[in-house]
Amino acid sequence: MTVRNRYPEACFLKTRHHHWWTAATILMLLWPIAMARAADSAAGQVSSKQVIAAIDKAVDYLLKQDLPQKHWERGVLGPWQEKMPQFLGESALVTEALLDVQQSLHLQKLDIFSGKMKSAIEFLLNNHNNTTYSTSFQANAIALLPKKPQYRATMAWDYDYLLHSLHYNGAYSYGWGTPFTTKTMPLKSNFWDNSNSQYGILGMWAVADYGIGVPQLYWQLTADHWRKTQHANGSWWYDLANNGDGNTPDVQEGIFTPAGVASLLIADEFLARRHTNKPLVDPNVERALAWMNAHFDPKMKNQYEMYGYERVGLASGLQRFGGHNWYKAFAATLVHLQHPDGSWSPHFLSAGGDPVGTAYALLILVRGLNPVFINKLQYNKAYFGRWNARQRDVANMVEWVSKQTETPLNWQVANINAPLSDWLNSPILYITGNNDPKFTKVQIQKLRRYVNAGGLVLCSPNEDSMQFRGAMIRYGREVVRNGYEYKTLTIKSDLYHMQPWFHFYVPMLGLSNGARYVWLICPNDLGSIWQRNALNQTSYWHLPLNLYLYATGKGSLGNRLQTLEVPEATGAPARSISIGQLSYAGNWNPEPGAWPRLAKILAADAATKVNLSTVSLDHAAACGLGMLHMTGTDGFHVSPQEVAEIQKYINKGGLLFADGCGGHPEFANGFTQLMMKAFPHEPLQKIPDDAPMITGKVPGGVDASKVTYRRFYVSTKGIRSKPGLLGIKIGRRWGVIFSQTDITSGLLGTHTWGILGYSPKSSVALARNIVEYAALQGK
């Protein structure tokens, strides 16, 4: 299910007590996804800033609604209020939502050790209610708190209620031992409903996640209930006879079908811990997902229904229902419906007041917004295809990494036919199986585009399949156009040393472009270990943790809406420049996606049109372009003719900009030698801080006088805040601009560890100014 993280005390004491890696600070069943982009466009778009602003306003609203002693209790939950009041439920729900916000956004006003949050938590600890909703919300709130005796005592009470109030057929009713029911009533009658049943199992999942053992029979009974009560079309109702809910069957289906799938996925988390290589098809889930895809309404307003869809999306990794990106659709709807005071009115029956509607909206917005650590590639039509023989492998692994890093993380499925934008909000793509996936040329090109955009592909064979492993080796070579050779990673690789106190070794085969790993193959069956939660095989859990640290540069990931994809420019360009990427006998283009991405940024943000082309070093003088860029990762040698060509190009008014991709000294030495041969009497000199490519005092420029460096750079060379550009002046203009520190990798927007470079933001700023300087010189 959704990755949860308890709050260690250190989490609230900010950076002084954070673990060192902490941030300083969900598949369509329908195939293929032909209408994905149109569906997203029709649903509307909201930005990450808009969503976070909406969350912040909602938090302020809820804190203002907190009443002394009563907190958020308004006594209006449930149709049976007079006989069975849902006391505690509203406050538990709101507290859970606020704790989720604090876990993700770290807002000081939600500090659990002071103020209103401290009082709200004490209210939960000092009160109990023999009703299913209240107990479930209470358990889900407590599960987000540290493992302290007083919290565990409350969780133990919730466990006792949820275990003993379970109907003999695996369902729940409103309460147990209340004025409306007796303690024997739920066990001996058919008085149950699927609303209470979904919240009952959700509460017990929180109990288990907190570390209290739950009998396997419990999960079997609850799963059996949902399987036996499913309709032939794949849907569920409030109950079998459509009694008590007040909604028509079609409305009930929309509400309770996601509830059924989410409940089965919860049960499978505990029932599916077995070693298997063949996909185990679950016909109940398969039928239900088909129903959900056929009936998904991206404009739904019912937060209860939206919450059910989100739970399915997060638990299964599904990004899309019916071709629509569910999170983007829900976020757009909720941002639009939010009241000026920060609240949302509940759009579901017997829901209570605006605090309840607001709490549900927060749960939807916050949990779905959490960063996506890894994508799992779907290359078969069916959800239960060869790509997904272990449905819980990645989910279990991400939950473990999330807890280690004290960072709420999500995972998702990337459909091979989906738009590349569905892949780009995660730095790692995981491919698994036991046969050759038989990727087409178009699909290989999609994989190449992902790698070129800064992505890392991790492959692992089921049952150590040599056929799958061989196919992945071949596809990796095709993706990099046979430009790099596989190497067996040694114990000295950064991937085994990301945690200073824990080093290990797992056999890995890798392709590197000289600056970073782009394709990794583990010959061992990672999915089996993760599926079974075999935590005793320590190295195979620390491997993905290290990959997380490697991909984030020991920092943090952007949220789900923060993607590497750059939007297309909407306005007409104010200026243009033609830039050539210099090719030579060496690794001249290690990051093919860097300059195309910068060109899109310049078009969108600076109204500058960049025309890119490739220019051979031995034909540089006649290219007629305003600027040439040269980069690489290794040393290189040039012929006298090539030296003469670059000299002529610069002397004729061209600008040569160079940087060492990855920041390796071998390229820097090679480029320095080239400049000494071309301009023996004009050594590279430091470009002053008031130069236009640093101050940004050129049309389309930005201030880059203060820059930030990657964490790897800082850990190696110390803290710096000034750019260190070198150059050669030809008359009154700069004809050569050189950065020994990596800029090229930063243009991708990624923070990969092991690169001696500027941060992505500073890389883009410096490159932007250099381009605009060249465009100005060409006028």
Place 638 in a pLDDT band, splitting at 50, 70 and 90: very high
**Separation CA 762–CA 299 (nearest Å):** 39
Place 274 in a pLDDT band, splitting at 50, 70 and 90: low
pLDDT score of 113 more than 50: yes
Amino acid found at 74: R
Residue with tokens 């889930």: 285
Output the pLDDT for position 13: 27
pLDDT score of 177 more than 70: no
Output the pLDDT for position 174: 86
Output the pLDDT for position 349: 54
pLDDT score of 246 more than 60: no
Give the pLDDT mean for 701-723.
97
pLDDT score of 645 more than 60: yes
- Region of 323 (left: φ > 0; alpha: ψ -120 to 50; beta: rest) is left
* Helix-helix angle 249-271:283-295, to 10 degrees: 140
pLDDT score of 689 more than 60: yes
Tens of pLDDT, residues 383-411 = 888 999 888 999 999 999 999 999 999 99
Q: Which residue has the higher pLDDT, 566 or 189?
A: 566
Tens of pLDDT, residues 280-295 = 788 999 999 999 999 9
Give the pLDDT mean for 473-492.
97
What torsion do the CA atoms of 263, 395, 540, 5 make, to the nearest 10 degrees?
Answer: -90
Output the pLDDT for position 368: 95
Tens of pLDDT, residues 581-601 = 999 999 999 999 999 999 999
Q: Which residue has the higher pLDDT, 275 or 38?
A: 275
Least confident piece of the model among 191-195, 372-376, 543-547, 745-749: 191-195
pLDDT score of 366 more than 70: yes
Using a pLDDT cut of 90, give the percent of the chain over it: 79
Tens of pLDDT, residues 485-527 = 999 999 999 999 999 989 999 999 999 999 999 999 999 999 9
Tens of pLDDT, residues 12-68 = 322 222 332 332 222 233 333 333 444 454 446 899 999 999 999 999 999 999 998
For 505-571, give the secondary structure using H, E and C.
CCCCEEEECCCCEEEEECCCCHHHHHHCCCCCCCHHHHHHHHHHHHHHCCCCCCCCCCCCCCCCCCC
Place 87 in a pLDDT band, splitting at 50, 70 and 90: confident
pLDDT score of 117 more than 90: yes
pLDDT score of 4 more than 80: no
Residue 560 contacts residue 372 (beta carbons within 8 Å): yes
Using a pLDDT cut of 70, give the percent of the chain over it: 88
Residue 84 contacts residue 174 (beta carbons within 8 Å): yes
**Separation CA 259–CA 304 (nearest Å):** 10
pLDDT score of 10 more than 60: no
Query: Which H or E element spans position 430?
Result: strand 428-433
Give the pLDDT mean for 615-619.
96
For 308, phi then psi, to 5°, come to -65, -45
Mean residue pLDDT of the chain comes to 89
Residue 429 contacts residue 375 (beta carbons within 8 Å): yes
Tens of pLDDT, residues 154-173 = 999 999 999 999 988 899 99
* Helix-helix angle 760-777:594-605, to 10 degrees: 70
- Residue 69, classified by CB atoms within 10 Å of its CB into exposed (0-12), middle (13-18) or buried (19+), is exposed
Query: Helical H runs in 453-513?
Result: 466-479
Query: Helical H runs in 106-148?
Result: 115-125, 132-142
